């Protein structure tokens, strides 16, 4: 069994491969570097912080991580892997910049400006950046001012005769002050500059009063432990607890100091001392620029160098202005985002909000869009006299603040807000609309978020099946009244029966294979890390069950190991869209039980979260899901073979090229 953290780093290398792929549009390659950097930042804040914490504990040599690593061993292995990846990132970035220059697109710094550009930058600094600059002078007798790991900084060194003076500047990055500034267009092409370098150019305007002989500035960034801690009994008020938790995250222990490798030694030593960093493993030398996740917002300067997302399709059974409920009355509807438009779900909520016969709406919310149409539709329904209940998971990592704001807004507008379940995150994607003598349920694999639905691949199933509606009602009764006992017949819910159901399904395949009959398991996950389920899949392989796995991120199961997983093959697809949907297809003696769900085979999903899934009964939808899996399994352009541990080799192309995401759009277009 492989290690989860190393497997996840291997996944992020697959993201980096997209930036290295010359067939990917050039600016999109730059954006993949931004996605890679964002992923890496979160890994350091969360996973690496866990390892560092464990490595400093009393039982650091006995505590085991997956793959049978001690904390100390794993920390060494992870740091080495991250160092290798960092070098690959730097090389890729340099190569992309070179390719951009061939397209007459240049990223220039403050030393490469002509007079006209320098004038532009100084004017831009005065009008846009300067009002947001706050210089912090470092003094030996005073501690380091608080520095957030959400920001990037310039450490400034001034040489004044024989003395040195030091300061820190936060680089402002927001919607009105972007990280990248495009110079007014010229006939020679496009030229862009980091806002960091505009500040470097204008240091004399900030520190002129010090009469320095020389001044230099070097970028650095902190990464803090993002463990979200709460103190039991401090407050019954959920908002106060969130504020406390966010404060603790903001002020968490510094895990890494990432700094410009050319920073003078005395300046680096001062930062290290002021930040109370004592171990070399906390120091992370890098290049001239940090927080490269901002590359995701690189300016859109040429359409021909970007991915063009095709317009999302209408689901084939729907027609404009016909009403979603009317269609769902006649048949179940499967949506596969981003190929289908998320507007179908928005229209469903809008229709429910004004339908006189609708009396109640229930929904679980984990991550919503920044300007959410879903939130607006729920408010509209409440204003129209409907009973609206929203179960909002306040503790969705890194979205806590926005979720608190949405909870307060919804409550203000008359929506009943449930703050999840104590001790368990509500991660299931479930909605229920109650109409006079009728009900409608929606079971999904992804968030109710119209923004991510354009780039995340997810399933959503609409049904008016009375049993599913009754099951959904039972789940919402439980979420409102925790002591309520409930049992579902068609929905599966963790942590109550999801693990048990899938264990029974796998054991059925094992028994069938042992009887000499056909048996298979085809599954698609974001992550596959639960040791118990992995061991059961190994047993199934040894029994002769054919197992095909599509796993986007961390996969601790090792396929194609003689005597253990000979019958297991696994691939990972990284492409234009983020593969986020989950499904499992069991042969089940020819009945082919097909499930979609919000859960991965991870311990947290199966043991500690409220997750929802559904056994699909509609024959046409079952066939569609089987077709989707088959198309993705045949991908030989963007699929990587997971049989070679951490190597990320592309699937061998023995037949004509098939890129599954492009093929799926054609598939739905022709339905």
| Domain range enclosing 225 | 104-299
Does residue 317 belong to any structural domain of this protein? Answer: no
pLDDT at res. 556: 96
Does residue 314 belong to any structural domain of this protein? Answer: no
pLDDT digits (tens, 9 = 90+) for 569-578: 999 999 999 9
CA dist 205 and 290 (Å) reads 24
pLDDT at res. 366: 95
**The dihedral formed by the CA atoms of 499, 500, 502 and 508, expressed in degrees to the nearest 10:** 160
The runs of H, that is alpha helices, within 44-70 are 49-55
168 shares a domain with 97:
no
Structure tokens at 492: 């599966």
Distances (CA, A) of 291 to 136, 246, 542: 20, 21, 46
How confident is residue 360, by pLDDT bands cut at 50, 70 and 90? very high
* Helix (H/G/I), strand (E/B), else coil: 283: strand
562 shares a domain with 429:
no
Does residue 307 belong to any structural domain of this protein? Answer: no
502 shares a domain with 426:
no
User: The domain spanning residue 232 has which CATH number?
Assistant: 3.30.1840.10
Mean pLDDT of 380-389: 98
How confident is residue 566, by pLDDT bands cut at 50, 70 and 90? very high
CA dist 507 and 102 (Å) reads 58
342 shares a domain with 276:
no
pLDDT at res. 61: 62
245 pLDDT higher than 60: no
pLDDT at res. 148: 85
Strand partners, 442: 431, 462
- Evaluate the CA torsion angle 12, 13, 14, 17 in order and state its sign: positive
User: The domain spanning residue 76 has which CATH number?
Assistant: 1.20.58.310
137 shares a domain with 24:
no
pLDDT at res. 233: 34
The runs of H, that is alpha helices, within 290-367 are 324-330, 343-354
Does residue 309 belong to any structural domain of this protein? Answer: no
Query: Do 216 and 169 contact (CB within 8 A), yes or no?
Result: no
Q: Nearest Cα to 131, choosing from 172, 90, 71, 77? A: 172
How confident is residue 129, by pLDDT bands cut at 50, 70 and 90? very high
pLDDT at res. 234: 34
**The dihedral formed by the CA atoms of 514, 518, 524 and 525, expressed in degrees to the nearest 10:** -10
Cis peptide, bond prior to residue 338, ω within 30 of zero: yes
Cis peptide, bond prior to residue 394, ω within 30 of zero: no
186 pLDDT higher than 80: no
242 shares a domain with 283:
yes
pLDDT at res. 237: 53
pLDDT at res. 284: 81
564 shares a domain with 467:
no
pLDDT at res. 163: 85
Residues of the chain with pLDDT > 70, as a percent, come to: 94
Q: Nearest Cα to 490, choosing from 322, 381, 618, 587? A: 618
652 pLDDT higher than 60: yes
Distances (CA, A) of 353 to 357, 379, 607, 618: 10, 9, 35, 28
* Helix (H/G/I), strand (E/B), else coil: 359: strand
User: The domain spanning residue 363 has which CATH number?
Assistant: 3.30.870.10
pLDDT at res. 232: 37
pLDDT digits (tens, 9 = 90+) for 520-547: 999 999 999 999 999 999 999 999 999 9
Does residue 308 belong to any structural domain of this protein? Answer: no
**Residue positions counted in the chain:** 671
pLDDT digits (tens, 9 = 90+) for 477-502: 999 987 777 789 999 999 999 999 99
375 shares a domain with 450:
yes
pLDDT at res. 583: 98
269-278 LR contacts (CB < 8 Å, sep 24+): 270/138, 270/166, 271/144, 271/155, 271/220, 274/138, 274/143, 274/144, 275/144, 275/222
550 shares a domain with 473:
no
123 pLDDT higher than 90: yes
Does residue 316 belong to any structural domain of this protein? Answer: no
pLDDT at res. 253: 65
Q: At what angle do helices 619-633 and 660-670 cross, to 10 degrees?
A: 150
Residues of the chain with pLDDT > 90, as a percent, come to: 77
Residue 488: partners with Cβ closer than 8 Å, 6 or more residues away: 471, 474, 475, 497
Could you give the residue numbers annotated as active site?
427
CA dist 267 and 166 (Å) reads 8
pLDDT at res. 106: 95
How confident is residue 276, by pLDDT bands cut at 50, 70 and 90? confident
pLDDT at res. 281: 62
How confident is residue 239, by pLDDT bands cut at 50, 70 and 90? low
Does residue 425 belong to any structural domain of this protein? Answer: yes
Which residue among 441, 461, 484 closes a domain? Answer: 484
108 shares a domain with 79:
no
CA dist 501 and 610 (Å) reads 15
In 16-175, where do the E strands start and end?
64-65, 69-70, 105-108, 136-138, 152-160, 163-171
pLDDT digits (tens, 9 = 90+) for 396-449: 877 888 998 999 999 999 999 998 888 889 999 999 999 998 999 999 999 999
434 shares a domain with 378:
yes
Mean pLDDT of 305-310: 92
In 475-592, where do the E strands start and end?
491-494, 520-525, 546-551, 568-573, 578-579, 583-586
60 pLDDT higher than 80: no
Task: Specify the number of domains making up the chain.
Answer: 4
Which residue among 51, 80, 103 closes a domain? Answer: 103
Mean pLDDT of 79-106: 94
pLDDT at res. 247: 45
Give the mean pLDDT of the chain: 92
446 shares a domain with 345:
yes
Angle at 594 between CA 560 and CA 66, to 5 degrees: 40
Which residue among 484, 506, 529 closes a domain? Answer: 484
Task: Tell me, yes or no, if the pTM score tops 0.85.
Answer: yes
pLDDT at res. 144: 82
Query: Do 96 and 19 contact (CB within 8 A), yes or no?
Result: yes
297 pLDDT higher than 50: yes
């Amino acid at each position: 069994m492989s290690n989860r953290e190393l497997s996840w780093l291997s996944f992020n290398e697959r993201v980096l491969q997209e930036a290295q792929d010359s067939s990917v549009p050039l600016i999109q390659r730059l954006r993949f570097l931004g996605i890679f950097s964002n992923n890496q930042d979160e890994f350091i804040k969360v996973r690496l912080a866990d390892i560092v914490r464990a490595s400093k504990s009393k039982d650091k040599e006995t505590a085991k991580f997956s793959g049978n690593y001690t904390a100390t061993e794993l920390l060494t292995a992870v740091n080495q892997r991250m160092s290798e990846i960092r070098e690959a990132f730097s090389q890729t970035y340099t190569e992309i910049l070179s390719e951009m220059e061939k397209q007459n697109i240049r990223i220039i710094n403050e030393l490469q400006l002509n007079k006209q550009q320098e004038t532009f930058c100084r004017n831009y600094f005065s009008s846009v950046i300067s009002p947001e600059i706050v210089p912090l002078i470092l003094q030996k007798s005073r501690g380091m001012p608080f520095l957030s790991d959400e920001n990037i900084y310039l450490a400034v060194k001034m040489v004044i005769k024989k003395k040195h003076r030091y300061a820190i500047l936060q680089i402002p990055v927001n919607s009105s002050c972007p990280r990248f500034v495009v110079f007014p267009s010229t006939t020679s092409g496009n030229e862009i500059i980091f806002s960091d370098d505009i500040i470097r150019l204008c240091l004399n305007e900030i520190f002129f009063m010090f009469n320095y002989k020389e001044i230099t500035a070097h970028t650095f960034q902190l990464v803090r432990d993002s463990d979200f801690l709460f103190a039991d009994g401090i407050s019954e008020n959920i908002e106060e607890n969130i504020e406390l938790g966010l404060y603790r995250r903001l002020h968490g222990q510094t895990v890494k100091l990432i700094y410009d490798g050319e920073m003078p030694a005395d300046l680096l030593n001062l930062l290290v001392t002021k930040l109370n960093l004592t171990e070399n493993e906390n120091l992370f030398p890098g290049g001239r620029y940090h927080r490269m996740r901002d590359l995701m917002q690189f300016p859109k300067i040429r359409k021909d160098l970007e991915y063009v997302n095709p317009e999302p399709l209408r689901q084939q059974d729907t027609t404009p202005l016909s009403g979603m409920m009317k269609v769902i009355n006649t048949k179940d509807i499967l949506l596969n985002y981003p190929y289908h438009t998320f507007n179908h779900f928005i229209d469903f909520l809008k229709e429910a909000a004004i339908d006189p016969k609708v009396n109640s709406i229930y929904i679980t919310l984990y991550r919503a869009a920044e300007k959410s149409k879903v939130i607006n539709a729920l408010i509209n329904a409440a204003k129209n006299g409907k009973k609206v209940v929203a179960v909002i998971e306040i503790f969705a990592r890194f979205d806590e603040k926005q979720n608190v704001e949405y909870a307060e807004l919804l409550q203000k507008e008359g929506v009943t807000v449930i703050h999840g379940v104590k001790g368990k995150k509500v991660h299931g994607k479930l909605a229920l609309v109650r109409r006079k003598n009728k009900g409608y349920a929606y079971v999904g694999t992804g968030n109710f978020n119209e923004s991510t639905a354009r780039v995340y691949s997810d399933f959503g199933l609409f049904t008016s099946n009375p049993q599913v509606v009754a099951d959904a009602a039972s789940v919402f009764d439980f979420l409102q009244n925790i002591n309520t006992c409930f049992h579902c017949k068609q929905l599966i819910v963790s942590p109550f029966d999801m693990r048990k159901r899938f264990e029974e399904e796998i054991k059925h395949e094992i028994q069938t294979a042992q009887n000499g009959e056909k048996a298979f398991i085809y599954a698609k996950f974001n992550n596959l890390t639960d040791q118990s389920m992995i061991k059961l899949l190994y047993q199934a392989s040894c029994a002769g069950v054919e197992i095909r796995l599509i796993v986007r991120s961390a996969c601790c199961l090792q396929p194609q190991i003689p005597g253990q997983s000979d019958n297991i093959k696994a691939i990972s697809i990284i492409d234009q869209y983020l593969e986020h949907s989950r499904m499992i297809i069991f042969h089940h003696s020819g009945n082919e039980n097909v499930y979609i769900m919000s859960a991965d085979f991870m311990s947290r999903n199966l043991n500690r979260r409220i997750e929802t899934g559904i056994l699909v009964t509609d024959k046409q939808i079952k066939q569609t899901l089987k077709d989707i899996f088959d198309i993705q399994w045949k991908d030989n352009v963007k699929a990587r073979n997971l049989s070679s541990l951490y190597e990320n080799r592309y699937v061998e192309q023995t037949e004509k090229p098939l890129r599954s995401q492009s093929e799926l759009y054609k598939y739905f277009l022709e339905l």
